[in-house]
Amino acid sequence: MERLACYDCGETYAFGDAARCRCGEPLWFETDTTEFDWPDASEASGPTGSGVSLGRDTLWRYESVLPATEPTGLAAAAGGTPLFRAPSIEPADGPRIHLKVEGVNPTGSFKDRGTAVGICRIDGPVGTVSHGNMALSVAAHAAAADREAVVLVAEDTPDSRLAMIAQHDPHLFRVRGDYGRLYDDTLDGDLGAAFLNSDAPLRVAGQKTVAYEICEAFAPDAPDAIVLPVSSGGQASGVWKALRELDAAGLLSSVPRIYLAQAARCDPIARAYRRGDSCVEPVEGEPTVAVSINNADPPSGNRALAAVTETDGGVVSVAEETMIAETERLAADAGVSVEPSCAVATAAVRELAASGELDAADDVAVILTGSGYKYGASEADTSSVREVDRADVPAAVRDAMR
């Protein structure tokens, strides 16, 4: 479990010797899953049941293929998120959509998986370069584990997000200057903290468990596709790593195609995909409502691109108004509140169905990366609220439901 390897050039390192491969690509923990089988294989119910019971057992059910041992406390509660079908948002003649609701993780996002595994594996102070879900996750888990945490946020991070992070009492710095370069600054490790950035090997090892849960819920079959938002590429890297491991273990009837979704206003990976390139070039991104995935120079972009091409998937760019409409659809029709950065994934499914890439024969698992409740208060739309006197309530209600 202790060796790190570069998917791209094959170079290997001992854990702790390198943050990235000397070829520039991120590293993966090597995992031998050839002997791995589903825990309690007999329990497999498949998505026809509630689709929940298996997953709700937390990510630690996969401890045997993780570079950390099951802890107690908050980190023990990561993962094990619900997976259920949502017919109400399925396009006509389109695929069956199964929602993987990551917002029910302890800090409301998928980031808790990588944070939980990382913080259990390393000692001492931890850190991260993030102003969103990852910053909140690292700050909270560090507080729970009684560790010092360093959180470096961008200069333009709104106070409401900072306050949410600050409650967990990390060393919180709002950094002036090129925020993109900060990621590189933290790699050499002389900051006195182990940085659990988006594609750090330990984080990717934890993030992969969402794909383990999805595939186990479908066992002995497998979903036809897994669709997720992409920003740095760290989660896409984790999903692909999991599929490679499960395939090696002989646990996939077929390897799901990986589809990634980006905001059209900042879509470096989608552009490289359309060009047919294997390398992602930085773009001049524009501001987008999908703030959590607004990454113009993704550090694991090449890895994410490889995940897509090697599984015959694709990358979709989604327009602003489409993301906003999809966010509203998920809340109003599926009862799930998400950020636009997350709704971009089901919007992508809609576009892939329209183009015929996904059809009625497909089971698609969509990773809804984070809860919309955390940031909901910032965009208050109360236009649908009706004012009424108590005495007039019966008439008003009857009228509304006519």
Q: Which of residues 152-181 bind its own copies (CB under 8 A)?
A: 152, 159-164, 166-169, 171-179, 181
Pairing assessment for the beta strands 12-14 and 3-5 based on DSSP bridges: antiparallel
- Of 68, 183, 53, residue with least CA distance to 116: 68
* 72 in contact with its own copies (CB under 8 A): yes
What's the min distance (Å) between Cβ of 359 and its own copies? 23
Q: How far is the CB of 174 from its own copies (least distance, A)?
A: 5
Backbone φ and ψ of 24, nearest 5°: 105, -15
Choose between 167 and 253: whose C-beta lies nearer to its own copies: 167
The burial of 255, by beta-carbon neighbours within 10 Å (0-12 exposed, 13-18 middle, 19 or more buried), is given as middle
Size of the site for its own copies (CB under 8 A): 104
Give me the sheet containing 314-318, strands edge to edge. 83-85, 96-101, 363-368, 225-229, 257-263, 314-318
Q: Restricting to residues 107-126, which ones interact with its own copies according to CB under 8 A?
A: 107-108, 125
Give least dist CB 112 to its own copies, A. Answer: 10
Cβ at position 205, least distance to its own copies in Å: 18
Site for its own copies in 321-340 (CB under 8 A): 328, 331-337
Task: Tell me which of 35, 123, 156, 389 binds its own copies, using CB under 8 A.
Answer: 389
Asked if residues 374 and 164 have their Cβ atoms less than 8 Å apart, the reply is yes
* Least distance between its own copies and beta carbon 99 (Å): 9
Matching residue, tokens 């007039």: 392
Place of tokens 């006197």: 389
- C-alpha distances in Å from residue 378, one per residue of 58, 146, 295, 336, 375: 31, 31, 22, 17, 6
- Residue 330 three-state SS: helix
Q: Which stretch binds its own copies (CB under 8 A): 4-12, 25-33, 79-87, 272-280?
A: 79-87
Q: State which of residues 73, 220, 250, 282 lies at the interface with its own copies (CB under 8 A).
A: 73
Whichever of 190 and 321 has its CB closer to its own copies, that residue is 190
- ∠ CA 262-265-270 to the nearest 5 degrees? 40
Closest approach of its own copies to the CB of residue 237, in Å: 26
Return the amino acid letter for 168: H
Q: Which of residues 366-385 bind its own copies (CB under 8 A)?
A: 371-385
Among residue numbers 182 through 241, which ones bind its own copies (CB under 8 A)?
A: 182, 185, 190-193
Task: Pick between residue 34 and residue 382 the one whose CB is nearest to its own copies.
Answer: 382
